[in-house]
Amino acid sequence: MKKILCLFFSALMILSAAASLAESGALPSLREIYAEKFDIGTAVPRMIAANKSRMDFCATQFVIFTPENELKPDAVLDVTASRALAQEDDTAVAVRFDAAKPLLDYAKENGLKVHGHVLVWHSQTPDAFFHEGYAVSKPFVSREVMLARLENYIKAVMEYMDANYPGVIVSWDVLNEAVNDGSSNLRGSNWLKIIGQDYPARAFEYARKYAPEGTLLFYNDYNTAQEPKQTGIVNLLKTLIAEGNIDGYGFQMHHDADYPSNAQIENAVKRISALGLKLRVSELDVGIPNNSEASLQKQAKKYADIMRILDKYADQFIAVQVWGISDNVSWRSAKYPLLFDKAMNPKPAFWAVADPNGPGILPGLIVSSLYPGLTEQDEKRIIMHGHSNSLNQPGGDMPCSDTERTESC
């Protein structure tokens, strides 16, 4: 228990110090740097959204937020309540938003934007949604019933948000990852099996019908830089553009420092941009094999390269969002993919995003101001690795590393 409390209060102190660092002007604000180009944002899980000190810090850096899981269908569709309603009407849908409220409330109170993610997806959607009576033991519903459920679901989500959080959700991923990996065809999801090839178009039709005026509607996918999937994405977008209900495309850029190549990334952006849609990077992170100095610098270079590519198309990009706050809470945590390390220290990647055309100099002056009297070697260690006490003890002992960690640390 003592160790748990120690770690908890240490984390709070780290976040407080990080926020103070940002407020002091020592840490530049990404949202301010890019204010004239596009919104800079991040994804946050519920545990961060409910932590005011963390959100206060995030708000110094980011202006738009995506709930990491809390608006996905498995968090929103109330299967038990829907099953009860289905006894009278098998097309009825019940929804709930408890998981998303911490982020929505914070955004509403602080004038921040939220990007909704996601209305229609093959994953993290209760299987019961596709079955008669919302019972997985029963057959799939008919096309007509599934279309009605889809429309009722989207209607319920849009109407709740407009009534309770007007203007907070500025955009939605209507459809996510519909194109199959390694092909140009639609993924063989339950949506495709029950409704057919036109289910993406119907999803956007219903979203446009019920979305508050001005809400932007996006298709979102990953591996856009890879063929033949890229062609499949382009073909789907052309179909949706012809229907007149889509506003833009979201690039999931879950990349590694050495793949895909910058040429592949730029070719994908160029090809999609030629369709005339609004663009956003919805899920950006860059994986590396370890957190050595060499790997962190390689990661920073990749972030800088990506930001320079996006800058060429800044007139079409409306937002760029990293997928998480710090490495330890990332879904790719083993690859250290984000801008802040586990102690909320800005990594070289942060400085690369802050100034993609800069010399890449490590921010030693910030660490030295927090740790008077540090040797150059110790200063570099904090900058590159940032452990759990590295922002909260000016003039104190050096933080212990993972291999040095003890009960008292």
> Do residues 43 and 322 touch, judged by C-beta distance below 8 A?
yes
Q: What is the pTM of this model?
A: 0.84
Ordered DSSP codes for 38-54: -EEEEEE-HHHHT-HHH
In a domain, 336, yes or no: no
pLDDT score for 392: 30
In a domain, 265, yes or no: yes
Give the CB-side neighbour count of residue 295, counting CA atoms within 13 A. Answer: 13
In a domain, 37, yes or no: yes
Instruction: List for the chain the helix, strand, coil content (%; round to 5).
Output: 45, 15, 35
pLDDT score for 377: 54
Ordered DSSP codes for 163-201: HHSTTTEEEEEEEE--BPTTSSSBP--HHHHHT-TTHHH
Report the C-alpha gap between 136 and 148 in whole angstroms.
18
Segments forming the whole domain that contains residue 55: 28-329+347-357
In a domain, 317, yes or no: yes
Distance of CA 155 to the CA centre of its chain: 24
**What is the chain's alpha carbon radius of gyration, rounded to the nearest angstrom?**
22
In a domain, 377, yes or no: no
pLDDT score for 195: 98
In a domain, 370, yes or no: no
Q: Which residues are known to be catalytic?
A: 177, 283
pLDDT score for 335: 96
Count of domains for the chain: 1
Residue 372: exposure state from Cβ atoms within 10 A (0-12, 13-18, ≥19): exposed
Whole-number Cα distances in Å, 129 to 147, 205, 297:
11, 20, 46
The series of mean pLDDT values per 10 residues for the chain, 409 residues long, is 42 46 70 97 96 96 98 98 98 98 98 98 98 98 98 98 98 98 96 98 98 98 97 98 98 97 98 98 97 96 97 97 95 95 95 87 40 47 39 30 28
pLDDT score for 367: 39
In a domain, 17, yes or no: no
Ordered DSSP codes for 94-153: -B--TTTHHHHHHHHHHT-EEEEEEEEESSSS-GGGGBGGG-TTSPBPPHHHHHHHHHHH
What CATH number does the domain containing 49 carry? 3.20.20.80
In a domain, 87, yes or no: yes
pLDDT score for 359: 66
Whole-number Cα distances in Å, 152 to 85, 93, 171, 177:
13, 6, 19, 22
